[in-house]
Structure 1
């Protein structure tokens, strides 16, 4: 069986933090664009930032691209609160187009400004903004990309260069002041938002969406659901009628299905890495619009359906889709406890495998729990946004399973005696792999990190 690996992080900003991993992380990167290993377990200790924003290893530097409350360069209003999921696309003349979610609920401090032609529900305060960067990484444009949505948590890029932004909510019209139903996926063109407008992709389901990943060969879209209460969320696939149609093709509709693992009603009950299940079934969702009953509560037949707590990150690698269960807590209704899992589904074989288990190596109050957004790193490993207690880090994980601190947030939201830090979100890399972009959720800040990757 795969062996356990543990690294205790030492040095400024990470003393005492630890993560335990079970599983063989090298298999996560087989067939992906990042095929080489850095040959080291990180980039050294974090250096305290004299400006009190972001600690990084020696040789790395950051640039603040955008801050909550600053004016948008488009003149459309202020930079909204709560930046979350994010992706980077190739822009003009060697530049980058960065699209960024804002997980604003109806109580948001700074809403995404409503803009004619790209606003879904005037009472929705969430949405996306996009930044245009030149080849030197300088911001040359910043605008609203979609408005009038709510609780835009994560999403994912498409093979044709758009962003699918996901609403992590299922409020109906008339709830919390909304004038339209919410809980949808929307397609966003980061370079020209008016091409996509604000049209909900209703066939892809109405539920508490988290993230998506597209199979570039088959065109299938995989979706995670981060439900807040029992029964927990489901793992879905969407079979589009036009699987390779490009921009706007998902509006043509398709079939939404949920994953059933025979004999496994709750994925948290599986604890041993390498455990594999063949014969995974996909069951049609009876009512994707959840007109009377939330999808996860609908009748999937006598065999039921497979649930999991906190289904979050999702990405495509090689010939497989990987998805994250951020944690499971038996006191909240899960079958068992864990501090994070990564699952792999192989469509060709119909096989699901638990490949990685996260967990704190010392104290559950220390960093190392609740992996949230993840992405592949240029070194051939993972970057993981931690969403746990205490200090907040972006952790790197090498292909050998060694863990290191890549960044630590320094913006104290509390007091000197009782400090608090905002979580990281939306970690992603530029198309040339030279720059890491990441958001601090609170106070809303978008960073660009460069250095000897």
Structure 2
């Protein structure tokens, strides 16, 4: 993200732009001033895209894994694409399975952490034409694998969004960790929890490719809300397996600001401090409940998407609600942390939207697009979109989940997750969380 883009985004509050672009889930979407034009209803009822764009269904929950290990697991979530050489791509995909999941990640020898946990990751391999040539388990026996993030050495960090201990929900081991997955050979990474990175309800991570610092978000929707963390590895940028060597975990404090939700001015900037986490293992007390000293610590409801770009880390607060204990309401924030200046800045503010059927609330997974803009997955009420944001701050619809999973007379659409781009920038991959579907989208990308 360029300085120009950041400056322009700082002046944008999404409520006005979204209100003019969208008229609700049952009405046509007017063409935006930028982007790729209005969405065209899909005759197959799967994915609405702008004219000229096409999708390929790569995988659907319940279909057989090509490895023969069992059916494709449910609840497709965070994802990343890796260059496999000669035009081939590897996709690592999380499955946010809880104890009630109907389609678990099959247990696999050497890749299973806790046989009683149903989540994990699967790995898809694509040929130069984009066809799936292999699909298999890459991590099993983990719980509620929500998002994560890629490393500079081309592995995937998969995050457990839970704090359940052994003996809870039938689990045989403690959960709430980050796991490293090597897409080139998952057996090289195995199923080893990176315990020094903390035990809490992880959502996403982003790695500083210059210093090796790992930033982590905590998705907590009840008080006390989650924290924003940094992990200083003992072996920064040490390559696959190096995060097992441990390190130091800190939580972010913004002096005088107890909760990020009260900030409603895009462009507002604050200094930050980093406070050592007293007990990253949360042996007796969950991290966000721990005593961080007289200055306290800064919380935020639903800290979710997290990625690295423009020399810093961007992270998302999906929403804040007074009715759930937040000091203020908002429909989504995107923040930027500049580690060189030790500051954070509110770049984007979603809402307030008067109608929950309108898209543009509850941003979740987020990534940089090849044109320097953003792609944002929605996880809110009503119709569910992948929204694009141009480098100069224009908002436009990129995709709509057309798969109705509701009851007769009460339509419902599942969230999007795991948006990511192929290494060459010509294909966007994204998951419909429910029904679990992985799409590859091609077309006239800018």
Smaller-chain TM-score bracket: over 0.9
- Provide the residue aligned with 2:136 in structure 1: 143
Deviations 1:200-234 (Å, cap 9, x if unpaired)?
Answer: 00000000000000001000000000013110000
2:329 corresponds to 1:337: yes
Q: Is the 8 A contact 1:428 1:436 kept in 2?
A: yes
2:14 corresponds to 1:2: no
2:76 corresponds to 1:83: yes
TM-score (norm 2): 0.94
Q: Secondary structure at the match of 1:91?
A: strand
Greater alpha carbon shift after TM alignment, 7-16 vs 434-443: 7-16
- Provide the residue aligned with 2:155 in structure 1: 162
| Mapped partners of 1:416, 1:407: distance in 2 | 24
2:57 maps to which of 64, 86, 99:
64
Q: Secondary structure at the match of 1:331?
A: helix
1:194 maps to which of 170, 178, 187:
187
| 1:289 to partner: Cα distance | 0.5
- Provide the residue aligned with 2:218 in structure 1: 225
Deviations 1:81-109 (Å, cap 9, x if unpaired)?
Answer: 00000000001321000000000001101
Q: Secondary structure at the match of 1:355?
A: strand
| Mapped partners of 2:417, 2:21: distance in 1 | 21
- Provide the residue aligned with 2:363 in structure 1: 371
| 1:395 to partner: Cα distance | 1.0
- Provide the residue aligned with 2:311 in structure 1: 319
Q: Secondary structure at the match of 1:224?
A: strand
| 1:330 to partner: Cα distance | 0.9
| 1:411 to partner: Cα distance | 1.2
2:384 corresponds to 1:392: yes
| 1:405 to partner: Cα distance | 1.1
Q: Is the 8 A contact 2:29 2:39 kept in 1?
A: no
Q: Is the 8 A contact 1:154 1:166 kept in 2?
A: yes
1:232-381, aligned counterparts within 5 Å?
Answer: 232-278=225-271, 280-381=272-373
| Mapped partners of 1:414, 1:221: distance in 2 | 39
Greater alpha carbon shift after TM alignment, 226-235 vs 373-382: 373-382
1:29-68, aligned counterparts within 5 Å?
Answer: 41-68=34-61
Greater alpha carbon shift after TM alignment, 8-17 vs 169-178: 8-17
| Mapped partners of 2:44, 2:340: distance in 1 | 50
| 1:13 to partner: Cα distance | 6.2
- Provide the residue aligned with 1:31 in structure 2: none
Deviations 1:235-265 (Å, cap 9, x if unpaired)?
Answer: 0000000002100000000000000111111
| Mapped partners of 2:230, 2:170: distance in 1 | 31
| Mapped partners of 1:12, 1:298: distance in 2 | 43
TM-score (norm 1): 0.93
| 1:364 to partner: Cα distance | 3.3
Q: Secondary structure at the match of 1:84?
A: strand
| Mapped partners of 2:318, 2:356: distance in 1 | 14
Q: Secondary structure at the match of 1:129?
A: strand
Closer/same/farther in 2, CA of residues 329 and 432 from structure 1, 3 Å limit: same
Unaligned runs of 5+ in 2: 1-9
| Mapped partners of 1:321, 1:401: distance in 2 | 19
Closer/same/farther in 2, CA of residues 370 and 116 from structure 1, 3 Å limit: same
- Provide the residue aligned with 1:402 in structure 2: 394
- Provide the residue aligned with 1:22 in structure 2: none
Deviations 1:402-438 (Å, cap 9, x if unpaired)?
Answer: 1111111111112442111111110000000000000
| Mapped partners of 2:432, 2:256: distance in 1 | 40
| 1:347 to partner: Cα distance | 0.8
CA RMSD of aligned residues (A): 1.7
- Provide the residue aligned with 1:21 in structure 2: none
- After TM superposition, which residue ranges in structure 1, 4 or more long, deviate above 3 angstroms? 10-18
Q: Is the 8 A contact 2:22 2:358 kept in 1?
A: no
Q: Secondary structure at the match of 1:359?
A: coil
Greater alpha carbon shift after TM alignment, 409-418 vs 311-320: 409-418
Unaligned runs of 5+ in 1: 19-38
Q: Is the 8 A contact 1:118 1:145 kept in 2?
A: yes
